[in-house]
Amino acid sequence: MLRLVEEHHGGSNRRFAVLLADGAMVEAVLYRGDTLCVSTQVGCAVGCPFCASGARGFGRNLSLEELMEQVDAVRRRGARLERVTASGVGEPLHNPALPAFIEACRQQRLPVSVTTSGGPLSRLPDLLRSFHNGVTLSVHAGSEAARARAVPRGPALGPLFQLLYREVPRLSGRRRRRLALAYLLVADVNDGADEIDAFVERVRPLGDLNIHLYDYNPVQTSAHRGVGRRAYEMAYARLTGAGLRVRMSCKARLEPNGGCGTLVALKARRPAGRSRSVLG
């Protein structure tokens, strides 16, 4: 059984260290008292350079039991959960326990949303059609060059958007409304006007999808930095001016313990020679 240790309790978020039975550690965040952000892997193989979660590479997938225990442990602390988001440490689509986790939460009337870089693409259509409470695809680029910098081991934009052009029109209106594309602005990585315009061109054929424009929460493991408030607002104006429906970072996300990208993982010490699989 895992153990939960409260690390920060400030603002509207509570952040927990999740100590796993094999000695590994991930983190979870309770937003506004009713929304739990869980981690799905120890570390991450995608390697986004601005993110603390994958800074030490990939360790292992969390089991279905470990995913559910994060929910149960936070409830034992008195939280009245209304929803869960698989947006903590790890790439949720790399973990084969994700569909069972979504279903197990659904049986407890706990809707689950997922944040993913989109790979492996073979698993994305089933996620888009599942009983999720929201899927946010981390795109963070308009050109392949910027995508390779921002999301190095996620799927390239060409095949990712080909899949979206095929799948999104087949989704129900409810599922389409709960699909969002995220663009995290990082200075000198993806903040150029040409980059944002290239993103707009890729998104336009998808119709009126929601766009989440995130400001960057700096982390100790990365030298990358945000663009500053003025450039952030200019990027927002550029996207909305192009006709996209854009949401800016919410207050909870901007707090220092604001989750996505800031959560860390520590791997357990492994006996030498033991094998591991990224996709489970």
Residues in touch with ligand SF4 (CB under 6 A): 44, 46-48, 51, 53-54, 89-91, 117, 261
Cβ atoms of residues 254 and 213 within 8 Å: no
Bridge partners for 118 per DSSP: none
CB of 80 to ligand SF4, least distance (A): 27
Which class for 167: exposed (0-12), middle (13-18), buried (19 or more C-beta within 10 A)? middle
Question: Smallest distance from the beta carbon of 278 to ligand SF4, in angstroms?
Answer: 11
Distance CA 94, CA 69 (A): 19
When the beta carbons of 33 and 180 are compared against ligand SF4, the nearer one is 180
The values of phi and psi at residue 60, to 5°, are: -165, 165
CB 140 within 8 A of CB 151: yes
User: Closer to ligand SF4 at the Cβ: 240 or 277?
Assistant: 277
Q: Rank residues 33 and 152 by Cβ distance to ligand SF4 and give the closer one.
A: 152
How far CA 120 is from CA of 95, 146, 155, 163, 179, in Å, comes to: 10, 19, 7, 12, 18
Calpha distance 2→25 (Å, rounded)? 9
- Please check whether residue 262 is in contact with residue 34, taking contact to mean a CB–CB distance below 8 angstroms: no
CB of 214 to ligand SF4, least distance (A): 11
Q: Nearer Cβ to ligand SF4, position 47 or 218?
A: 47
- Least distance in Å: CB of 136 to ligand SF4? 11
| Complex with ligand SF4: residue 13 or 116, whichever CB lies closer | 116
Q: What is the nearest approach in angstroms of ligand SF4 to the Cβ of residue 237?
A: 26
Q: Looking at beta carbons only, is 33 or 49 nearer to ligand SF4?
A: 49
